[in-house]
């Protein structure tokens, strides 16, 4: 994993404060969409894990809108764990003690080196019972989509194919950064990305 000390108060003010890449309103829209799409597919979310939770916006959304859902959050940052109450854990070496219906890994996998990111993907897969939301910018995203003023640019840049090759042993991609655990929920052919 990247040096965890870099994820300090200054980092969170820079990338999650005003003008940052993520804010509670945007995450609320995203979490609502993911939760309702899962429901459309017949996936009832009763447990949720947030990997690299940072300020805990996903976790807080679940606590507010679906208090019946069991939530758990992890972060490698000592600052984030102390400030927002996450379990301290480095996803590149953390061994999940169980599975969760929905696992979110939002803007995390670009930080570890190749070996660490590969290990993290395996650990995310081991933690996912049904559905994972995995957002990670790719080489193309950094060139064509990412707002450099709001995004940490000191990360590892990899191709979409690099991530797909490592995710595909466990998951099928169903669009919008959603990955369904293989052999769990039947999907229509055109719902699956190929």
Which residue bears the tokens 């890994």? 105
User: Closest by alpha carbon to 127, among 95, 81, 85?
Assistant: 95
In terms of DSSP H, where are the helices of 21-89? 24-40, 57-65, 78-84
**Which residues are paired to 173 by β-bridges?**
179
Residue 97: exposure state from Cβ atoms within 10 A (0-12, 13-18, ≥19):
exposed
Each residue's pLDDT tens digit, 100-147: 999 999 999 999 999 999 999 999 999 999 999 999 999 999 999 988
CATH architecture of 4-15+25-191: 3-Layer(aba) Sandwich (3.40)
Decide: pTM greater than 0.85: yes
What are the boundaries of each domain within the chain? Answer: 4-15+25-191
């Amino acid at each position: 994993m990247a040096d965890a000390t870099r994820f300090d108060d200054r980092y969170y003010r820079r990338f999650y404060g005003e003008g940052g890449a993520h804010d509670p309103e945007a995450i609320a829209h995203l979490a609502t969409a993911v939760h309702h799409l899962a429901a459309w597919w017949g996936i009832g979310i009763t447990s949720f894990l947030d990997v690299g939770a940072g300020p805990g916006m996903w976790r807080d959304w679940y606590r507010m809108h679906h208090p019946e859902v069991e939530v758990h959050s992890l972060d490698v940052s000592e600052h984030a764990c102390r400030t927002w109450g996450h379990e301290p854990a480095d996803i590149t070496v953390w061994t999940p003690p169980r599975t969760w219906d929905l696992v979110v890994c939002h803007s995390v996998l670009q930080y570890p080196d190749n070996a660490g990111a590969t290990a993290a993907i395996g650990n995310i897969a081991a933690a996912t019972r049904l559905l994972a939301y995995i957002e990670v910018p790719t080489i193309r995203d950094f060139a064509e989509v990412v707002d450099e003023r709001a995004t940490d640019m000191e990360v590892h840049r990899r191709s979409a194919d690099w991530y797909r090759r490592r995710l595909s042993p466990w998951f099928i991609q169903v669009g919008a950064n959603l990955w369904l655990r293989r052999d769990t929920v039947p999907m229509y052919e055109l719902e699956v990305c190929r």
